[in-house]
Amino acid sequence: MENSREESIIRLEGLGKQFQTANGTVTALEDINLDIHQGEVFGIIGLSGAGKSTLVRCINYLETPTSGRVIFEGKNLSSMKESEKRLARRSMGMIFQQFNLLAQRNVLQNVCFPMEIAKIGKADARKRAEELLKLVGLEERMKAYPSQLSGGQKQRVAIARAMATNPKVLLCDEATSALDPNTTKSILALLKQINKEMGITVIVITHEMSVIESICDRVAIIDHSRIAEVGKVSEIFSGPKSDIGRQLILGDAAGQRVNFGNSRQIRIIFDGRESSEPVIANMILACKVPVNIMHADTRDIEGKAMGQMLIQLPEDEVDAGRICNYLKTAKVAFEEVH
């Protein structure tokens, strides 16, 4: 997919955001330029304090940018009247880390809430809410209150609520950070399903590379208020150009699949690395997934590791890909064995 303006549903041009504090001016975002394409799952990743959450709030004007422009469907949000901004914001559903459900309302009433604000009739709102709760697998829990739900169920309600006004974009701000790994997988699968079946553009803000890897088409890495690099997820993972990109990929903690079956095998070639460097141990620690060592023939020659090792990758393709991407990023030579 080419980065053409015609395909962009959201375009950020020279976006900046500063906050005035008691200690002076703090720059949260500086010269952010991004094109987010219609119908893609776009990831924005960075460490805590990098500016991710400020960026997502500037996209829908919950925060007003200090400089630059947000173009949504070809229209400049900054030049809109307040009523027009509210209308545009209705086309951008938002999902938060802490769910933000109304405790005194049941599941159905929570999903109906944004439609009440949008002055949609009660019967139509209820019908739409029931459809959405079926979509997220909670049709049986419509009368339950948030306190009676698990974290994953609460986030499913939040997703249904975010979709109540038929948005064109879903903004997910650390939407899985409060969830356990299995629940995270199911929520990410739901977001991918919504993206594929309904054509809704999904923007995922996270600090976890495993989330980006699971569902995103492209990713922007943000570091110290600026974009460090942007590209297809596969390209960024196999060859990150920035220091922060390498840090996030090599240091990520990811899934736990351990089935091997008749999975792929690769030959790792040791051609002169320091023999004291624990290549395999570092790989397993970074990828958080085991490998099966089938054969090894390595020697220590004057402090250098020479030889080869045949390993079997996990059956899960995401886990297998994670190991290959780690080896590429760490510049460890390997080849696939057929």
Query: Which tens digit of pLDDT belongs to each residue from 10-40?
Result: 999 999 999 988 888 999 999 999 999 999 9
The confidence score (pLDDT) of residue 5 equals 42
Q: Which of 184, 217, 250 marks a domain boundary?
A: 250
Residue 87 domain flag: yes
- Residue 4 vs residue 237, higher pLDDT: 237
The confidence score (pLDDT) of residue 314 equals 87
The pTM (predicted TM-score) of the whole model is 0.73
Spell out the alpha helix ranges (H) of 67-218: 82-90, 107-117, 122-135, 151-162, 181-198, 209-215
Tens-digit pLDDT profile for residues 143-168: 999 999 999 999 999 999 999 989 99
Spell out the alpha helix ranges (H) of 163-296: 181-198, 209-215, 233-238, 243-250, 279-287
Model confidence band, residue 287 (pLDDT cutoffs 50, 70, 90): confident
Residues 208 and 162 in one domain: yes
Residues 240 and 274 in one domain: no
Residue 120 domain flag: yes
Residue 259 domain flag: no
Identify the helix (H) or strand (E) that includes residue 56: helix 52-59
- Residue 210 vs residue 218, higher pLDDT: 218
Tens-digit pLDDT profile for residues 317-337: 888 898 999 999 888 889 888
CA 162 to mean position of chain CA atoms:
17
The confidence score (pLDDT) of residue 261 equals 67
Domains of the chain: total = 2
Tens-digit pLDDT profile for residues 40-58: 999 999 888 888 989 999 9
Tens-digit pLDDT profile for residues 117-134: 888 899 999 999 999 999
Residues 241 and 275 in one domain: no
CATH number of the CATH domain containing 102: 3.40.50.300
Residue 297 domain flag: yes
CATH number of the CATH domain containing 311: 3.30.70.260
Share of the chain above pLDDT 70, in %: 95
CA angle (160 as vertex; 316, 135 as ends), nearest 5: 60
Mean confidence (pLDDT) of the chain: 87
Residue 260 domain flag: no
Question: Residue 272, by phi and psi: left (phi above 0), alpha (psi -120 to 50) or beta?
Answer: left
- Check whether 250 has a pLDDT greater than 70: no
- Mean pLDDT for 281-301 is 84
Residues 170 and 316 in one domain: no
Tens-digit pLDDT profile for residues 74-109: 999 988 888 888 888 889 999 988 888 999 999 999
Residues 193 and 307 in one domain: no
Residue 256 domain flag: no
Determine the structural domain holding residue 324 and report its residue range: 265-337
Residues 117 and 222 in one domain: yes
Residue 258 domain flag: no
SS3 188: helix
- Check whether 296 has a pLDDT greater than 60: yes
- Mean pLDDT for 219-243 is 89
Q: Which of 216, 250, 284 marks a domain boundary?
A: 250
- Check whether 178 has a pLDDT greater than 60: yes
- Check whether 256 has a pLDDT greater than 50: no
- Check whether 246 has a pLDDT greater than 50: yes
- Check whether 298 has a pLDDT greater than 90: no
Q: Which of 215, 250, 285 marks a domain boundary?
A: 250
For residue 163, the one-letter residue type is M
Model confidence band, residue 282 (pLDDT cutoffs 50, 70, 90): confident
Residues 278 and 218 in one domain: no
Residues 166 and 284 in one domain: no
Share of the chain above pLDDT 90, in %: 44
Residues 83 and 181 in one domain: yes
Q: Give the span between the Cα atoms of 214 and 116, in whole angstroms.
A: 35
The confidence score (pLDDT) of residue 255 equals 36
Identify the helix (H) or strand (E) that includes residue 319: helix 317-329
Residues 282 and 232 in one domain: no
Q: Give the span between the Cα atoms of 120 and 27, in whole angstroms.
A: 40
